[in-house]
Amino acid sequence: MAKKYGLSKAERLKSVVRTEKLFTEGKSFWIFPFSVHFRFSGAEGCKFLVSVGKHYFRHAVDRNRVKRLVREAYRKNKEILYAAAAEKGLYLDFAFVYKSRSFFSYAEVEASVKEGLSVLAAKVRGAGL
């Protein structure tokens, strides 16, 4: 289990193979302004990925700003998902893909991330083995 309010490298999805499987074999749902992709994995720990396309923001500084906001919102609220994952013993890889041309305030981004994490937690609780 990771630190309560940290975001270590071990919590980030960096594997090309796992990322490819996430987007090809995984499922997704929409929480404005995100498309949330997820896939249950056999590996221990929940792995997180943030993506902001060049199609929506041409300048890297803008994409990086959005990614910073999403990572911070996830870092503060990840316990929602971790509690459900520990309860069921299931772990998943998931990605928040930003799908809007507009900038939103941190409060709006955090509310969307919280809602996405709640839906993921519900899916973990519903996926019984």
Domain total of the chain: 1
| pLDDT over 60 at 129, yes or no | no
Per-residue confidence at 128, pLDDT binned at 50, 70, 90? low
Per-residue confidence at 25, pLDDT binned at 50, 70, 90? very high
Taking residues 103-110, what's their average pLDDT?
94
Residue 44 lies in a domain: yes
Taking residues 68-73, what's their average pLDDT?
95
CA atoms within 13 A on the CB side of 118: 7
pLDDT reported for residue 39: 93
| pLDDT over 80 at 4, yes or no | no
Residue 2 lies in a domain: no
Residue 31 lies in a domain: yes
